[in-house]
């Protein structure tokens, strides 16, 4: 069994959240309309045939909001039984970025995705995947240097853990959609 844990933050005016919605374990309500609601799907489409993976198209539960920074956040846990030797790429796909987010050419971005590999093939000795985490929203001041630390751990202490920029081409396919190469002056 694989557990998918999703946590997202959105513009409060798009996906409204308040204390009453949190108290009632309510799902997000879109204040306008997505042109393509976010979902987790196989990458490429059809590449998960026979693995037990099915597209996850479920709204997240509202967990937090801020009227000060106009952000709402939500989370969802989904359990799925995959075949023992599944080795697949899945991606969180969607669009409707906030209009203030621009691509490297200054145009408003639309489509985005985040890709991950699920590899359940047996390896010896057993290898535990590295884990990482960060805040769902990191705010920086435009035009000023900012250092963002992303904690990572490898319980086996044998994996080489490195940050890299997402790519629009490579073994995982398109990992970032319209937001690829957006931070032209940033360094890893």
85, two tokens: 């030797």
Instruction: Give how many domains the chain has, as a whole number.
Output: 1
pLDDT exceeds cutoff 90 at 78: yes
Average pLDDT, the chain: 80
pLDDT of residue 142: 79
Domain span including residue 177: 1-181
Cα gap 14→37, rounded to integer Å: 12
Question: Looking at per-residue confidence, does 84 or 38 come out higher?
Answer: 84
Question: Is residue 109 domain-resident?
Answer: yes
Question: Is residue 186 domain-resident?
Answer: no
Write the pLDDT tens digit of every residue in 131-142: 887 776 788 887
Question: Is residue 171 domain-resident?
Answer: yes
Question: Is residue 28 domain-resident?
Answer: yes
Question: Is residue 139 domain-resident?
Answer: yes
Cα gap 48→130, rounded to integer Å: 23
Q: What's the whole-model pTM score? A: 0.71
- For residues 5-20, give the mean pLDDT: 84
DSSP secondary structure string, 90-147?
EEEEE----TT-B-TTSPBP--EEEEEEEE----SS--PPPEE---S-----TTS---
pLDDT of residue 21: 92
Question: Is residue 166 domain-resident?
Answer: yes
């Amino acid at each position: 069994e694989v557990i998918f844990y999703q946590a997202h933050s959105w513009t409060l005016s798009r996906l409204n959240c308040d204390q009453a919605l949190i108290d009632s374990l309510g799902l997000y309500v879109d204040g306008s309309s997505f042109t393509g609601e976010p979902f987790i799907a196989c990458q490429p489409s059809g590449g998960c045939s026979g693995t037990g993976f099915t597209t996850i198209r479920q709204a997240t539960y509202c967990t937090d909001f801020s009227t000060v920074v106009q952000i709402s956040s939500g989370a969802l846990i989904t359990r799925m039984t995959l075949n023992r030797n599944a080795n697949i790429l899945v991606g969180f796909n969607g669009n409707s970025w906030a209009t203030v987010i621009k691509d490297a050419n200054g145009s408003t971005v639309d489509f985005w995705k985040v890709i991950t590999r699920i590899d359940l093939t047996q390896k010896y000795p057993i290898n535990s995947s590295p884990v990482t985490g960060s805040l769902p929203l990191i705010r920086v001041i435009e035009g000023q240097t900012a250092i963002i630390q992303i904690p990572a751990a490898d319980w086996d202490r044998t994996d080489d853990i490195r940050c890299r920029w997402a790519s629009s081409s490579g073994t995982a396919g398109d990992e970032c959609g319209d937001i690829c190469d957006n931070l032209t002056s940033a360094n890893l």
